[in-house]
Structure 1
């Protein structure tokens, strides 16, 4: 049971159709036809709201087409009788889906509900923000969250339950934070991994967490029930994971052996693999339509970075680019722009490079974002909701804000005494940003 189904009093945007269109295809067997992915929203659209519509439930893998029973009175062909017999035998043999298992978590007193939030935060989450660029930067420290005992690799806001923040740590744990709760901000401490957790991502429309780590596994956890839904075993340490924005049941993983795999969480199987002689996958990111993704690896030789950044075609499983970045630096972070046909790469040369997202994916040699430091830390960057600002962590513990159009440094704020490894804009409130540090702290600014 989803305890947050009525979060913030929002209602679903979907409405049942009055009747099926005459040209709609007819589903057979257990196949369900999903609507085509939405087009990229226009600048004037309500861009700050997270997706609140409900997605259709996927059928079970062993669901058979309804067949007539022998007592229905009509003629049943031999083929239909055989299908009926096989489906009954399959159901009696048991479902192939793995059983839910309880995962270990602490802090039972913590709550993931929104009932104890600050009034101003609850109002901001319920109200629809005005479209357009933000009018101010996050300046004031809102919340300081402590609980990890080692470095934090990343933080991620829930797109459907905006008061929840997840963090992945080198201490083998995933923390779920009820950030503005007036009581206990630590909602869950998940201990389902046996080694360092390198990445964590919220499901796009449910309170499920996907996490990957050095124990060579990706695990899907129901945060409400505290149960592991599925375990995806790999032959490599998992460095990074990302959901496909056009299909919430598909995610991509990259690991230490250079393998890139596309998984389907409904069946727990790999649907596509992307092969090339790569080093450790440092980061990946999907385009807005989910048809392409970029990968960053640490494959270098002499004074050139070969295959450091590659743009891939998801359907054809082929690389579309060829040495778009030729400097002898690795890039621990790559990000698509949310509105324009471009992407950026955080370089260990202490700058952020910008590229065209259209072939031949050229590097902009006349503009780069400079001023912050990387110095070998896995420092990440992220765009604001409007795409007009770019925020980056830094090895000096500060958050740097740049103007996307001019690459001009707008402001920097001190977040930590040690390196700031990740920054994440809130999906609803444009002037809220979360950051994490190499010492295990999280700071939320507003």
Structure 2
């Protein structure tokens, strides 16, 4: 019998796994447990002492150390070094803890707040030849065309609505966000896209892709040439603004305020052509000088109550007008951060795009309620109530608006894929082209041709019309 018990103990041994032995199960109520717990705690605590109050003070003294406190006197605080009483004084030795090694700060490479590497910008030339037989690059304005791209517009110059598609450029993989012709001549076309790339195209001759500018990590929100086209500025949703050399593709400098730039505009005046304005998502308009370090703007215009959508220079570039998601329009003196005019009416909607009239007297704004409204860009900055262009849809998109070089026509994109042409004087729609299956968000007139326009849509295609 004893041998059988020994064998059973060996087979059921839990040595090294669980504590051996036997414990009786005791059932105890919660009330009994709490009473027992309080009794144990009471045995460990020292006998309670009644706390003493500070002295009441002298009733004839109002201020000072011996001022009268009365029943509001504080309780005396027992100090740990107070050796009075029956308790034995114990000397305590303090040991310093070893300082644990701190982990290294995490990298900010993935936060997109700080540029981790300044050499991330790249460029690639795609053209058939970089130089012509005289050693000139694509920056040279061609003179072997039917139209004079160098001179001024003739007196009898008149624009017409285009009818047919001339060419389609396809290289961008995502939506087109902005298109810009080369200043004055218009022989080159700059395109910005949601694929974070900026590309420049040949408008004449082979109509080929010439160069790609890579450096942004998110969608490019806006592009703008300087007055002579030698440089251009890009703004992106990666919160960066970058200045590029049009010819070489080099990124010259970078600017950032930590907010997203929605619109960037170079100062058109040649005397201050190194300065540019940027309308930001944090309601500010910031002014930078490209000759100075890019740490902080040289001026801030901080009066809008929502993200800034448009910046339009007027009055011989001495003033500019801005619109915002706060449904208002403000006019400013350049360099002075106080608005000279504030327009906000209950019936107004956010104005998302703008175009200046060649006469310099008016600015057309794309309003979010499916119409184009016109404001005077002179002293009063009043809305011209007689001019309202309706017939297109723009809800949900930042649809471009452009006035023809002769000032006689207004062109607008459309969320349904159309391009609409309106007569400036009568406000009636002249013509409508089905340009895309998706929303046409970018549209620009060729500055020297009579009826040539370019459109860009959400499908990434750029189309050239005549």
TM-score by length of 2: 0.67
**Contact 1:129-1:429 within 8 A present in 2 as well:** no
**1:173 partnered with 2:200:** no
* Aligned residues of 2:139 and 2:247 also touching (Cα < 8 A): no
Q: Structure 2: 5+ residue runs without aligned partners? A: 1-117, 131-136
Most deviating of 262-271 and 391-400: 262-271
On the 8 A contact 1:239/1:256 being kept in 2, the answer is yes
Asked if the contact 1:137/1:431 (under 8 Å) is kept, the reply is yes
Mapping 1:62-77, distance limit 5 Å:
none
Change (3 A) 1:229 1:160: farther
Q: Which of 1 and 2 has greater Rg?
A: 2
1:109-128 equivalence runs, <5 A: 109-110=127-128, 113=137, 121=145, 123-125=147-149
Distance 1:368 1:135, change over 3 A: closer
CA-to-aligned-CA distance 1:405-438 (integer Å, 9 cap, x gap): 2212111222111111011112222322111111
- 1:120: how far off? 7.1
Aligned residues: 339
Q: Give the 3-state SS of the residue equivalent to 1:296 in structure 2.
A: strand
Q: Larger relative contact order (C-alpha < 8 A, sep ≥ 6)?
A: 1
Structure 2 counterpart of 1:297, from 292, 317, 324: 324
Q: Are the counterparts in 2 of residues 325 and 363 from structure 1 also a CA contact under 8 Å?
A: no
Residue of structure 1 aligned with 2:392, choices 363, 372, 393? 372
Q: Report the CA distance shift for 1:120/1:324 in structure 2 as closer, same or farther (over 3 A).
A: farther
* Aligned residues: CA RMSD: 2.5
Cα distance in structure 2, aligned partners of 1:191 and 1:435: 22
Matched, 1:187 2:210: yes
Measured after TM superposition, the shift of residue 135 of structure 1 is: 5.0
| TM-score (norm: length of structure 1) | 0.70
Give the drift of 1:171: 0.6
In 2, the alpha carbon distance for the partners of 1:277 and 1:120 equals 48
1:288 offset after TM fit, Å? Answer: 4.9
Does residue 280 in structure 1 map to residue 307 in structure 2?
A: yes
Distance verdict in 2 for CA 1:253–1:118, change over 3 Å = closer
Q: Confirm or deny: 8 A CA contact 1:117 1:180 kept in the other structure.
A: no
Q: Identify the match of residue 137 of structure 1 among 147, 161, 166.
A: 161
Residue 248 of structure 1 is matched in structure 2 by 273
Alignment partner of 1:352 out of 340, 348, 372: 372
Aligned residue number for residue 406 of structure 2: 386
Aligned twin of 1:337: 357
Provide the C-alpha distance between the structure 2 equivalents of 1:262 and 1:392, rounded to a whole number of angstroms: 29
Shift of 1:227: 0.9
- How far is the alpha carbon of 1:319 from its aligned partner? 1.0
Displacement of 1:362: 2.2
Distance change >3 Å, CA 325–CA 387, structure 1 → 2 = farther
What are the Cα deviations for residues 11-66 of structure 1, in whole angstroms up to 9, with x where unaligned? Answer: xxxxxxxxxxxxxxxxxxxxxxxxxxxxxxxxxxxxxxxxxxxxxxxxxxxxxxxx
Q: Are the structure 2 counterparts of residues 366 and 109 from structure 1 closer, same or farther at C-alpha, using a change threshold of 3 Å?
A: closer
* CA distance in 1 between partners of 2:225 and 2:204 (Å): 18
Show the counterpart of 1:105.
123
